[in-house]
Amino acid sequence: MFTFLNSQKQILSLGQLGEKAAAAYLRKMGYQIIALNFTNTTGRRLGEIDIIAKDGQELVFVEVKTRKEPLSGKIILPEENINRSKLFKFKKIVDYYLKTNNLWDKAYRFDAISLIYKGDQGLFELKHLKNIFL
């Protein structure tokens, strides 16, 4: 379990709350956050990178998926929504980021953070899936 308190008392969507919690988790784990919700600013919109961080010298591009814990029944795990199409779009926006920032020579990886929101107390069940591309 990971506890995240929205100390600024902002009204956030579940997705925004999950992204803030994921960024807080990564900071706690020693990652340096470089950007949140990165999108391309020119041409056709390619997609979004939820979090760009550094783990030591390695760039980490993170996809965050958040779901509420159901009152009853089976939950669809957040990471189940990261399909082939989503990964293809994710790779395109990452390639754009690497190209526009001239970072092709840097080590990088793709991670996912899956969060299940456990209620109004700010509790999340969090899974950090490293290297989601093989």
User: Which pLDDT score is estimated for 4?
Assistant: 56
Going from the first residue of the chain to its last (134 residues), give the mean pLDDT of each consecutive group of 10, the final group possibly shorter.
53 80 95 95 86 97 86 68 82 94 94 84 83 76
User: Which pLDDT score is estimated for 113?
Assistant: 94
**Domains in the chain and their CATH numbers?**
2-129 (3.40.1350.10)
Number of Cβ atoms within 10 Å of the Cβ of 110: 21
User: Which pLDDT score is estimated for 11?
Assistant: 60
pTM of the full predicted structure?
A: 0.84
Owner of token pair 């041409």: 43
- For 82, half-sphere exposure in the C-beta direction (CA atoms, 13 angstrom radius) is 21
User: Which pLDDT score is estimated for 100?
Assistant: 93
CA distance 51 to 35: 6
